[in-house]
Structure 1
Amino acid sequence: MMTLYGYWRSSASYRVRIALALKGVEVEHRYVNLRTGEQGAGDNVARNAQGYVPTLELEDGTQLTQSLAIMDYLDATYRNPALMPREPILRSKILAASMTIAADIHPIQNLSVLKYLRAEFGVKDEGVTTWVQHWITKGFKALEATAQQYDTLFLMTDDPGFFECCLIPQVYNARRFGVDMDNFPKLSAIDAACLAMPTFQIAAPDNQGDAM
């Protein structure tokens, strides 16, 4: 069985948990406590040179990092259901929307960034919250405009896939930091449709049990 090293509230780990659940792939979960700094310990750095999570360790010991790369591996290895459409233009558009979250929104409100703001620049909690809200809102405005162009239950498709693996963890974070999701009705509708599905419920942070 493969092993996923992650953290219950890590957005990147959450993405991979959703992808695994959608694919029906079972893994052993081992948790790296980001709050106590376990990500910087030798064992985790040996798995992931950046000292991040998640890492997916395959049965032969191969270790894969970066959530989107892991999701791409899962989609290539476990074909059904597909996370990405085969049609090239639609695939590119969904990947672009996914990267808006994974490359633009999420990195600058990551735990390590927020700790740096506090430690190096003396930013207080209120300022940190404002920072997070700003970048999530900016990205979500663009994604909402894109989503409004399509009359589909999910983004550009009628089944959840690659984008939804990225969106749902980011909406979870948005709510944690007090972003008003009423401003993003289409994204909220996608989120609600996903959270009604058992596959998304299994992957949710609050359902990770002892890892919390």
Structure 2
Amino acid sequence: MKNNTLATRAARLGCATLVDAMGRVYGHRAHIPAMSSPDPLRPLFGRAATISFLPYREDLTETGRDFKHYFYGALGEGLPAEHVLVLSSGGYSDVSHGGGTKLARADSAGLAGVLADGRLRDFTQLRAYGFATWCTGEAVRWGGDTVMPHAFGVAVEVSGVCVNPGDYVYMDSSGGVVIPPASLHQVFAIAEDISADEAAAARDIRAESTQRDS
């Protein structure tokens, strides 16, 4: 099934229902609290391509490896349109991990989204890009002297949730959820059952109110 079809299903179900469905399959934490976005009405969905950030160390920046190196390393040979670039905080979720200029590369590559467990700069510029963006908030100051990319294609932590490369990530204005790829269709099927049950319960409640008023 094409990724855009999966994205449509995920958006129709919404984050809370998907989180409930994950809870019926797994016992581990899978939900990400609500974040900020340049365009809060644009949900994010795709497979995680990860970059791990660490606190800045001057002696470890002499390799000459910049964000470009980690960006293309994270994407590997996969289809960019299916990827969500996931950036860990490096312990500093309150500083900038990138901005409109650096993430222009993500727009050119056709990524589905960017999820940063840190702040991002240039919300106006990011809003105009073709991918969904979610982060801890907008920054005005460069953060390269506080955090630095350190590794790509590794498991990272986002708001207390483990995100493994290839996991499916969904994010909307209510929060996010991380779904292992092997369980995606099972989680979606359970979520659709939950949604149907809740709709039926809502109809019953409305019917009760109507009967009491008549």
TM-score (norm 1): 0.24
TM-score (norm 2): 0.24
Which structure has the highest strand share of the two?
A: 2
Q: Please identify the structure whose Cα radius of gyration is greater.
A: 2
Higher relative contact order (CA 8 A, sep 6+): 2
